[in-house]
Amino acid sequence: MTTAPDGRRARLVALAGCLALAGGASAGCSLVEPYDAGRLEAQHGAGAPRLAPAPQPPATAPPAAVPVQAPPPPSPEELAGQGVARVAVATCTGPRSGSGFHVAPGLVLTAARLLEGASSVSVRVGSEVRSAAVVAVDDGSGLAAVRVLGDPPAAPVLPLAGAPAPAGAEVRLPGFPQGGALRWARGVLTGADVVAAVAGRERGGLLAVTPEPGAAVDGGAPLLTPEGQVVGALLDAGPGGVHAVPLEAVGHATAVWRDQPAREAGPCLERGRGGGEPGVAVAVSSTAAETAAAAQALQLYASAVSAGRYDVAWNLMTPPMRAQQVDYETFAGDLATSTWHELDVVDADAVGAGAVEALVQYRTTQDAEFGPDAQTCSLWTVAVTLVLQDGEWWIGGSRNQTGSPEPCGGAGTPLAGDVPDGALDVPEATPEVLAAEDAALAEVLLAETAR
C-alpha cells in the first residue's frame, strides 16, 4: 500500500471531517487548499512560482450629490396678489362686488361706490373668506375702507411707491372678472391731474390709465408698478375710460383710517330688527373653482340673517326665489327665531352656464320652542343654487339634504366637531326630484336672463 505524504493525508482527513457533518459541507470547511508560499519552496525549491495578489476592484468615488432645485422666487405679481382682495357687499337692493387691497393689517382700501349702502361685507383673499365692516366712505376722493373682523388675515400689506409714477409708465391692473379667480392685466399711465366723470360725478386730480385690450377693470383694485408698489387705486371704468385715485390720496386715506374703528350698518327701510352678530365665520373645505365665489355670496346672506337684517337677506335672493316665499313678513318671521353661526362650503359644482350648486353646512342656535325636535343648537346640511347675473352671485334655490337637522354639541362648539357620521352624504335624488330641480333651475336662469 502506498502511503500518502503527510500534507496530502492532512487534507484527506480534513475533507472526511467536513463530509461527516450533518447536511454535508459546512461553513468553515473548504475544499480548496490555501496558498502557502513556504511549503511550496520546501517542496519545489526557491524558484517555485508565487501567486500574484488577487486583483482588488477599483475604488469607486461616491455618487455625486444631485443638486436640489430651489423653487423660483415668487414674481412681484404673485407677491402683490396675496394682498389683493375681492370685496363683496350686500346692499338694500342686492349684491355688489369689486376689489380692494390691504394697506394695514386687517384694513382693506376699496372704492367708495362699492360700499355705498353696504350692510354686510365679505372679503376674500385666495381661498380665505372673512366678514368685514365698513370703516369709512369718502365720496369726495372716491375711496373707502373696510376692516376685517377678528384677527387680521395672513395677507401682506402692499407697499406704497416712494413717488408718483410718471406719464408713460407701465402699470399692472389686478381684478376678479365675474367674481372668479384673480387675473392680471397690463396698462400704461397716460395722464395725471385729469378731470373725468367717474361713479356718477365729475372728479379732478385723477390718473388716466389705458389698459390692454380685454382687461377686466375692478373698482377698488390697486394700480401697481411692475415691481408691485401701489401708485394709485382704480375707480370703475366710465365713458371716459379708466381712471385711478393718485398715490397721495391713497397715502392720506391710509393714514387717517388706519386706527379708525368700524361702524355699524343700519337696516334697509327699517324692515330689519338688527342687533345680532355682525358676521358669520365661513370655512371653505372644497377646492372646486366655483367654491370661493359661492362662499362669499353665502357669507353675505348668513351675516345678514345673523345680524337680523332680513331685508338685506331678502334682496340677495333672485326674484323667482323670493316669489317662492309666502311674503317678506313670513320670511322674516321664520328667520327671526334663530341665529346663524359657522358656515362651511363643503363642495361646489357648476350646474350650467352661470349657475353653481354648493353643498353647505351651517349651525344655528334658537330657543327650544322654535328648534326642530326642541333642539337649541342645530346642524343643517343644505344644497344651495347660486346664479350669476351681471357679474354678481344671487341665491336662486335651496334643498335640505338630511331632512331634519342634526343636534349639535351646543353654542360655541366648533362646526367641524359637530359633524355626525354621514351628515355630509348627499342622498341620491329620484328622477322625479332631479327633473323638478332642473325645471326650477331653468326657470331661475330664464328669469334672470330676462331681467
Within this chain, do residues 252 and 349 fall inside the same structural domain, yes or no?
A: no
β-pair type (170-175, 128-138) = unpaired
Kindly state whether residue 263 falls inside one of the protein's structural domains: no
pLDDT at 198: 82
Q: How many domains does the chain have?
A: 2
Kindly state whether residue 411 falls inside one of the protein's structural domains: yes
pLDDT at 146: 96
Give the domain CATH number at 349.
3.10.450.50
**Residue 179 backbone dihedrals phi, psi, to 5 degrees:** 70, 15
Within this chain, do residues 222 and 308 fall inside the same structural domain, yes or no?
A: no
Q: What is the mean pLDDT, run by run of 10 residues, along the chain of 451 residues?
A: 43 33 39 48 53 61 72 79 93 91 96 90 89 93 94 91 94 84 92 86 90 86 95 84 93 95 68 56 80 88 88 92 91 89 89 88 90 92 92 90 79 39 39 47 45 44
How far, in Å, are 81, 161, 302, 408, 415 from residue 294 at the CA level? Answer: 20, 34, 12, 25, 19
Within this chain, do residues 90 and 227 fall inside the same structural domain, yes or no?
A: yes
Kindly state whether residue 158 falls inside one of the protein's structural domains: yes
Within this chain, do residues 320 and 190 fall inside the same structural domain, yes or no?
A: no
Judge contact between 140 and 245, C-beta under 8 A.
no
Cα separation, 284 vs 128, whole angstroms: 7
Q: Indicate the DSSP class of residue 402.
A: S
Within this chain, do residues 298 and 243 fall inside the same structural domain, yes or no?
A: no
pLDDT at 411: 41
Within this chain, do residues 292 and 202 fall inside the same structural domain, yes or no?
A: no
Q: Rg of the chain's alpha carbons, rounded to an integer?
A: 37
Kindly state whether residue 385 falls inside one of the protein's structural domains: yes
pLDDT at 438: 47
Domain that holds residue 232: 77-257
pLDDT at 89: 94
Within this chain, do residues 225 and 352 fall inside the same structural domain, yes or no?
A: no
- Among the listed residues 293, 292, 317, the one whose alpha carbon sits nearest the alpha carbon of residue 304: 317
pLDDT at 272: 45
Within this chain, do residues 201 and 302 fall inside the same structural domain, yes or no?
A: no
Kindly state whether residue 198 falls inside one of the protein's structural domains: yes
Kindly state whether residue 18 falls inside one of the protein's structural domains: no
> Cell 413717488, residue?
163
- State the cell numbers at 420: 355626525
Within this chain, do residues 180 and 293 fall inside the same structural domain, yes or no?
A: no
Within this chain, do residues 250 and 161 fall inside the same structural domain, yes or no?
A: yes
Within this chain, do residues 303 and 442 fall inside the same structural domain, yes or no?
A: yes
pLDDT at 276: 54
Give the domain CATH number at 125.
2.40.10.120
Kindly state whether residue 405 falls inside one of the protein's structural domains: yes
Kindly state whether residue 29 falls inside one of the protein's structural domains: no
Q: What is the DSSP string of 228-293?
A: S-EEEEEPPPBTTBEEEEEHHHHHHHHHHHTTPPP-PPPPSTT-S---S-S---EEE----TTHHH
pLDDT at 133: 92
pLDDT at 50: 53
Within this chain, do residues 331 and 214 fall inside the same structural domain, yes or no?
A: no
The whole-model pTM stands at: 0.73
